[in-house]
Amino acid sequence: MQQNVAITDRDNVLFEAGIKLGALYHQFTGSPVNLKTAGSLEKAIQESISVQPCVEDIKVTINRDMIRSKLNSEYGYCELEGRMLDVRITARFQKAKADVSMAFDTELDYPLMKIERIY
C-alpha cells in the first residue's frame, strides 16, 4: 500500500510555474506578429500572464531576427513560434519561490522550459 506524501509549497510553486509557461506557449503561438507589433505582443503576453495567481514577475522577449527571417513578403507578418520566445517568470506559492524560463535550445531544436532556481 502506498503512503500519502505531503505536498509542499515547493511542489505547488513548481506546478503553478509550469502551468504558466505551458499556457503562455499554447495561448500565444500562432499569433500574427511583425517587427512593428512585437513590442506590443510582448507586453500583452506579460500583462495576460501577470494577472494569474502566483506570478510575481514576468519578462517576455520575442526574437526580432527570427521574425525578420520568417516575414511573409506579400503581407509583411509571420506567426509567433515557440522558438521566438524567451520567457522568464518568478512565481511564489506561500513560502516557496521559483524562477522558471522558456528559451529556444538550438541543440534540441526546441523551446525548452526549465526550472532556473528554487528559493
Distance of alpha carbon 96 from alpha carbon 9, whole angstroms: 5
Residue 117 vs residues 13, 47, 112: alpha-carbon distances, Å = 11, 23, 15
Could you tell me the domains of the chain?
Answer: 9-118 (3.30.1300.20)
CA distance 9 to 14: 9
Q: pLDDT tens across 35-67, in order?
A: 999 999 999 999 999 999 999 999 999 999 999
> Does pTM top 0.85 for this prediction?
yes
CA 76, CA 78: separation in Å to the nearest integer?
A: 7
SS3 label, residue 80:
coil
pLDDT digits 0-9 by tens, 85-94: 999 999 999 9
